[in-house]
Chain A
């Protein structure tokens, strides 16, 4: 019998983290490609369920933060999808086209730069 995951409702003002490689960063802004997935859901992590040092220890990656409500306003869904490695893991579902990826990148805040 498969184990049912315990999930939470993500509020609109919940913050979501996305890992960002240095190659995506230009002048403290993030390329839209950091938030673009052609045919797949976008993986993020719910900030208040994440421990930065434990879940994101790799200094090669920076961290961008975006509000769940902003993503939902783009007609995308945000669902909690915990994994053993990341209890705060969530996915952004729906077709993220270039326009939506660019809007998300514009709104995202870089809270940690790659080391």
Chain B
């Protein structure tokens, strides 16, 4: 799924008027701190080797309606109701009588989290939600939790003068995990969950194993620094450095190859 393919939902009143859907790419400021809603069709199956997979196909937006295939199913998405609150929403569909492939969406608040209200009768529903966040967390929740936990370790946590794990390393590690999730999702293979280790210099290391291959990505404490990579195949060791999170894909490709 192309994460830059956004559908933006506008705030709605409690009266439940169906939201107007518009296609657009947010500005840098709008994007900061928000998840992006991409309604999508989920296709689940089993590969010939028995691994289960989920392919998420973004829907195509036309005008203010979404044109989808008739087998679109409602789903639960993680979403943000505002900058301050987090809510889960159920999205349902209603078939329009005139066009059998066009759907309108109505959004209901399903969980009892407080919402950030703009006025007495107004409430801010999810402006943007990223469908892949729910799927990502269903696979990587333990990894994300461990990152949070190792961030709480105090100085000298290893008794050999290790420093605290930096905030930047924590953020970057989650970004790399998300890149990993997206990359592997596109291959239709099963997700391989890495081991998360704290680094004495305040960074975070992600470690994968598949068959005879091992991959380590060492995320430095500062985002100015490059990431160190180690690939191991049997007794063959290769080290590299990379600058961008997206560079991780080539090493994941190596790991996933038979």
Contact = CB atoms under 8 A, between A and B. Distances in A.
A99 B159 contact: no
A31 B197 contact: yes
Interface in A21-46: 21, 23-24, 26, 31-34, 36-38, 43
A105 B216 CA distance: 13
Nearest to A97: B239
B198 A33 contact: yes
Contacts of B216: 32, 98, 102
Interface in B43-61: none
Contacts of A24: 197-198
A19 interface: yes
Interface residues of A, number: 20
A112 B228 CA distance: 30
A99 B158 contact: no
**What interface size band does chain B fall in?**
20 to 34
A102 B159 contact: no
Interface stretch (B16-24, B70-78, B94-102, B199-207): B199-207
A28 B198 CA distance: 17
B184 interface: no
A21 B239 contact: no
Contact of A23 (B150, B228, B239): B150
Interface of A: 19, 21, 23-24, 26, 31-34, 36-38, 43, 58, 61, 97-99, 102-103
14 contacts: A19-B160, A21-B157, A31-B205, A32-B216, A33-B200, A33-B205, A36-B199, A36-B200, A37-B160, A38-B201, A99-B239, A102-B216, A102-B230, A102-B237
